[in-house]
Amino acid sequence: MAGGPVTGPTNLNFFLARAEQARGEAEAATLDLVRERCRRSETAWSALADKAQRGEQLRIEDQKRKAATAASISNEDHIQEEQAGSDSRMFGRRTTPF
């Protein structure tokens, strides 16, 4: 797969649907080995869904952190610009008599 794995709500929904399907197949199975296989499949799909959900939460938290950092940097730049403007005005006039 080029570009790495794709994750997101679509994959989460797919994993949850597959887990539900496997659960239904396990309940309908009449053979013990088939029932066990379906339960293992359900466990695997559920684990993938959990992992996808954690990944999505981490991605959202990372986006929030980056946005907060960008806002902080922007605010610092604005403060520095204001200070530079006031410094240039101060240097143009005397503040102490000679």
The pLDDT of residue 96 is above 70: no
The identity of residue 90, as a single letter, is: M
Q: ∠ CA 34-39-43 to the nearest 5 degrees?
A: 150
pLDDT in tens, 51-61: 999 999 999 99
pLDDT in tens, 29-49: 999 999 999 999 999 999 999
Do the Cβ atoms of 49 and 19 come closer than 8 Å? yes
Give the per-residue pLDDT at 79: 72
Give the per-residue pLDDT at 50: 96
pTM recorded for the entire structure: 0.62
Give the per-residue pLDDT at 10: 83
The pLDDT of residue 6 is above 70: no
